[in-house]
């Protein structure tokens, strides 16, 4: 059987793309990173993809009249590369049902909060303003409602006295780079699926509480 083909969609730095590329290269993800797609030619993720010799494309959202025309152009790129699994990694465009339908169940996002807390932007500042003692990140399936799809895995980090949003972001990102490759591997290999709106792992409905307590060492399993 041929290996599943992944596309990473990103708008910024691309550190999650790098974590996923590394995991594809060293076998922690049993799939090929077949395309890096950015919506802005200035996105650093494109330089990083070039340095790694990864297939890459820029679909400038500004060049299109409306979201759906932009999404048709992205879908054409994904189809041309026979992409099986689409991984959003800091992709700063809201997707419409047109795109989501096409990859429903094969479309993942990472969000920098312990969803359902703090969907949307400025998550770490909102956690600090609320006096939270912990922050984190969630990998979830994408559904049309923003940041509301079924969760696959979460990572928690403590918030320390005197932390600023940047401190929390750095701590959370280290965890993102650990949990996103795990979730991508599970989805690429069919261990995790979205079934009738429920995320299941090995057939069991996922409870993110249980997943988030896994130690780094035994996660791949």
List interacting residues with ligand GRF (CB under 6 A): 10, 12-16, 89-90, 110-112, 137, 173, 176
Residue nearest to ligand GRF (CB): 90
- Cα–Cα distance, 150 to 130 (Å, whole number): 24
DSSP 83: -
User: Is the four-CA dihedral 134, 135, 140, 146 of positive or negative sign?
Assistant: positive
Phi, psi of 44 (to 5 degrees): -65, -25
Q: Which two tokens stand for residue 196?
A: 């009738």
Q: Which position among 61, 72, 111, 185 bears the catalytic label?
A: 111
Q: How far is the CB of 10 from ligand GRF (least distance, A)?
A: 5
Q: Which two tokens stand for residue 56?
A: 């890459």
Cβ distance to ligand GRF smaller for residue 106 or 109: 109
Strands 85-88 and 151-158, sheet pairing: unpaired
Q: How far is the CB of 183 from ligand GRF (least distance, A)?
A: 12
- Cα–Cα distance, 131 to 218 (Å, whole number): 32
Cβ distance to ligand GRF smaller for residue 11 or 106: 11
Q: How far is the CB of 19 from ligand GRF (least distance, A)?
A: 8
- Cα–Cα distance, 96 to 73 (Å, whole number): 13
Cβ distance to ligand GRF smaller for residue 44 or 72: 44
Cβ distance to ligand GRF smaller for residue 106 or 138: 138
Q: For tokens 């809201």, what's the residue? A: 94
Number of neighbouring beta carbons within 10 Å of residue 81? 16
Q: How far is the CB of 2 from ligand GRF (least distance, A)?
A: 27
Answer yes or no: 122 catalytic: no
Q: Report the catalytic residues.
A: 111
């Amino acid at each position: 059987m041929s290996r599943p083909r992944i596309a990473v969609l990103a708008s910024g730095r691309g550190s999650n793309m790098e974590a996923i590329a590394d995991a594809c290269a060293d076998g922690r993800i049993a799939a090929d990173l077949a395309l890096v797609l950015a919506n802005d030619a200035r996105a650093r993720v494109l330089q990083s993809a070039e340095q790694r010799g990864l297939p890459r494309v820029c679909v400038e959202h500004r060049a299109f009249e409306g979201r759906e025309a932009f999404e048709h152009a992205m879908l054409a790129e994904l189809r041309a590369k026979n992409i099986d699994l689409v991984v959003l990694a800091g992709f700063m465009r809201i997707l419409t049902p047109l795109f989501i339908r096409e990859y429903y169940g094969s479309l993942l996002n990472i969000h920098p909060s312990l969803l359902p807390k703090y969907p949307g932007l400025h998550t770490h500042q909102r956690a600090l303003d609320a006096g939270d003692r912990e922050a984190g990140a969630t990998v979830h399936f994408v559904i049309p409602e923003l940041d509301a799809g079924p969760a696959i895995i979460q990572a928690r980090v403590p918030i320390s006295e005197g932390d600023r949003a940047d401190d929390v972001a750095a701590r959370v990102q280290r965890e993102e780079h650990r949990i996103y490759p795990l979730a991508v591997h599970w989805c690429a290999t069919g261990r995790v699926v979205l079934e009738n709106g429920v995320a299941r792992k090995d057939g069991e409905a996922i409870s993110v509480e249980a997943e988030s307590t896994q130690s780094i060492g035994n996660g791949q399993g």
